[in-house]
Amino acid sequence: MHKVRVRFAPSPTGMMHLGNVRAALINYVFAEQKQGTFVLRIEDTDAQRMFDPQAQNIIEDLAWLGLSYDEGPHIGGPYAPYYQSERTHLYQQQQQALAEKNAIYRCFCTEQDLEKKRLRQQALKMPPRYDRTCMHLTPDEIDRLLSENTPFIWRFKCDHNLSVTITDLAHGAITFNMGNFSDFAITRQDGSFTFIFANFVDDLLMDITHIFRGEDHLSNTANQAALFHAVGAALPIYWHLPILCNIEGKKLSKRDFGFSLRDLKDAGFLPEAVANYVSIIGASFKEEIMPLNILAANFNFDNINASGRITYDIEKLKWVNKSWIVRYEPEKLTTQCRPYLEQAYSHAKNVDDKKLIQLLQIIKTDLTTTADAVSALEFYFVAPQLAAEDIQACIPEASQKSLLRVIEEHKNLLITNPTEFTPAVKLAAKNNNIPLKELFWFLRLALMGKTNGPGIAELVDMLGGAEALKRIEKMLQLVD
Ligand code: GLU
């Protein structure tokens, strides 16, 4: 058995979307599990779709997700180069070899010719297939057209009697009858190579053993399998990953929040949570929250659900993110939340890491994303603005006087011994028959502007005794 070699082969069209992320993850996890090699190859042959020079964004996104590759851009490897734009000579060699075998032919048809043929076939309800006009050109005709500099492309001669069978991890054997396929282009008129061909040559030359990619490539797979057959090479094993759908069952698109990885990054989703969620959708695990190394150990590639589509559910992703936030290392959580806080509150810069770690550990269970730290800690950075009505609305008139007295009597503890303040007012409230609930509401309202939130002792600890006293005194004045 050959050593497993898999690849993630994105086209640098500008952004990683969740379909790409899933393909990258599945390849990575498979390589980890099988102690194989994970290759990153950048498919940048289509100059018109190059919106991410050198695939810088993709490389950054993979690093963010923790998907390190064993061979690829910047780090190199035995099958370099890993940018298709630098591999033209290799495609030329393979094209030459196919030409010598008479497996490809030049096609001089213009776009207009082809369009006419298509329309005629449509009218006759025939499958839209290239009618092979140019396959029958004589050598003299070809020479003449070449001497006139007539533009042409190379087409692969599909053997219409051939059927090729691929192995797909989810679907088992899939047989393609090449009689249903057209003689496809392997070059463009400018001499550059098509996706189908370059992608095939690279998989062949890079000794790729398993190809895991989106289901949208299934028809390319038939053509590429025919190419493998034409050069007498063994076929890789495939897994065509089901299309990701939104909750309404429609193909996931730009309009769906979280389709682009950048959306999720900016909204405060943790890389571990995104990687975790995107790898578990469509499969079932007893314990769903796990880091990549455990995922790689647990992922069952022998029993893949062959369902046609899988659903991306943002609510589930939020749950996974929340679970990760709670179990994240305090220092790391702080690093992730800090930029949002600094952007929202100018003085957040002055809060050192030790203090911020303390604040976040207290409120972390309220966070769905790290960006939620902004609302969860608003009270810390901006003192609440309360009015007398806010107090009337939640503290019964009858308790107000005695509540006030109890707090007055103990408030100086906030300066002398802040940790004593809470137990002392609690005891005094009990002795005065003041419901504790009302005491807590009152103090929370004073300290954070709401009646529910962290415990009073925690709030005092977060704000510090002096600030807590200032806020409580402001509230006491409102009642007087
Ligand atoms: N460049 C192709 C894409 O981004 C690669 C498909 C494949 O993995 O073979 O869709």
- Residue 313: inside a domain: yes
Amino acid (one-letter) located at 414: L
> Within 13 A of 254's CA, how many CA atoms are on the CB side?
2
Residue 239 Cα to ligand 1 middle (Å): 13
Average pLDDT, 10 consecutive residues per value, the chain (480 residues): 91 89 97 98 84 90 97 98 97 98 97 94 90 97 98 97 95 94 96 96 98 93 97 97 92 91 96 96 90 95 81 96 98 98 97 98 98 98 94 86 94 97 97 94 95 95 97 90
> Same domain for 71 and 96?
no
Written as one letter, the residue type at 83 is: Y
Centre of ligand 1 to C-alpha 129, Å, is 24
Based on the fold, state whether residues 400 and 430 are members of the same structural domain.
yes
N residues, the chain: 480
Given 287, 312, 327, the domain boundary residue is: 327
Is 300 inside any structural domain? yes
* Cβ–Cβ under 8 Å, residues 199 and 225: no
| Residue 438: Cβ within 10 Å count | 19
Give the residue carrying structure tokens 């005065």: 432
Q: Which residue of 15, 51, 87, 199 sits with most ligand 1 atoms within 8 Å of its CB, as the best mutation to test the pocket?
A: 199
Give the residue, out of 61, 195, 203, with the most ligand 1 atoms within 8 A of its beta carbon, to mutate for a pocket test: 195
- Whether residue 237 contacts residue 210, with contact meaning beta carbons closer than 8 Å, is answered with yes
Going 432 to 437 to 440 to 444, the CA torsion angle's sign is: negative
**Which residue has its alpha carbon closest to ligand 1 atom 5?**
9
- Give nearest CA residue, ligand 1 atom 3: 10
Give the C-alpha separation, 188 to 153, whole Å. Answer: 5
Structural domain count, the chain:
3
In a domain, 2, yes or no: yes
Q: What range does the domain containing 445 cover?
A: 383-479
Residue 108, domain member (yes or no): yes
Shared domain check, 470 and 410: yes
* 6 plus 50 within the same structural domain: yes
Q: Show which of 138, 162, 180 is a domain's final residue.
A: 180
Whether 213 and 8 have beta carbons less than 8 Å apart is answered as: no
As for ligand 1, residues whose beta carbon falls within 6 Å of it are 9-11, 43, 199, 213, 217
In a domain, 68, yes or no: yes
Indicate the top mutation candidate among 194, 217, 238 to test ligand 1's pocket, ranked by most ligand atoms within 8 A of CB: 217
Nearest CA to ligand 1 atom 2: 10
Q: Are 174 and 262 contained in the same domain?
A: no
* Shortest-distance atom of ligand 1 to CA 220: 9
The minimum-distance atom of ligand 1 relative to the CA of 23 is: 8
**CA dihedral of residues 438, 440, 442, 447 (deg, nearest 10):** -170
Q: Which amino acid is at 73?
A: P
* Mutate which of 40, 43, 228 for ligand 1 pocket (most atoms within 8 A of beta carbon): 43
Q: Are residues 168 and 254 in the same domain?
A: no
Residue 43 alpha carbon, nearest atom of ligand 1: 1
Final residue before a domain boundary, out of 145, 161, 180: 180
Q: Are residues 474 and 390 in the same domain?
A: yes
Q: In angstroms, what is the span from residue 261 Cα to ligand 1's centroid?
A: 17
Amino acid letter at 27?
A: N
**Residue 348 belongs to a domain:** no
Long-range residue pairs from 331-336, CB within 8 A, at least 24 positions apart, any chain = 331/357, 333/357, 333/360, 333/364, 333/370, 334/360, 336/268, 336/270, 336/370
Provide, for the chain, the percentages of residues in helix, strand and coil under a 3-state DSSP scheme, each rounded to the nearest 5: 55, 10, 35
Closest by Cα among 430, 431, 457 to 443: 457
First-last CA distance in the chain: 84
Q: Do residues 99 and 165 share a domain? A: yes
Closest CA to 244 of 307, 310, 314: 310
CATH number of residue 459's parent domain: 1.10.10.350
Residues 6+ apart with CB under 8 A from 353: 331, 334
* 126 domain-assigned: yes
Q: Which helix (H) or strand (E) holds 340?
A: helix 330-344
Do 473 and 388 reside in the same domain of the chain?
yes
| CATH number of the domain bearing residue 121 | 3.90.800.10
pLDDT of residue 1: 57
Pick the residue whose CA is nearest to atom 4 on ligand 1: 10
Which atom from ligand 1 is nearest to the alpha carbon of 199? Answer: 9
Q: Please choose, from the candidates 172, 288, 181, the residue with its C-alpha nearest in 3D space to the C-alpha of residue 224.
A: 181
67 and 106 together in one domain: no
- Report CA(84)–ligand 1 centroid distance (Å): 12
- Which amino acid does the sequence have at 209? T
Does residue 183 contact residue 132 with C-beta atoms inside 8 Å? yes
| Crossing angle (nearest 10°) for helices 397-410 and 465-479 | 140
Asked, for residue 227, whether it belongs to a domain, the answer is no
Where are any strands of DSSP class E within 4-67?
5-8, 37-40
210 vs 303: CA distance, rounded Å: 16
Distance 213 CA to ligand 1 centre (A): 7
Same domain? For 471 and 387 the reply is: yes
Q: How would you class 350 by CB atoms within 10 Å of its CB: exposed for 0-12, middle for 13-18, buried for 19 or more? A: exposed
Q: Which residue has the tokens 């379909």?
A: 19
Q: How far is the CA of 311 from the centre of ligand 1 (A)?
A: 21
Domain CATH for 25: 3.40.50.620
In sequence order, what DSSP letters do the residues of 197-210 get, joined into one string?
Answer: HHHHHHHHHTT--E
Using the mean position of ligand 1's atoms as its centre, give its distance from the Cα of residue 141 in Å: 37
Regarding whether 106 and 70 lie in a shared domain, the answer is no
Contacts with 234 (C-beta within 8 Å, 6 or more apart), sequence order:
228
Check if the beta carbon of residue 283 is closer than 8 Å to that of residue 303. no
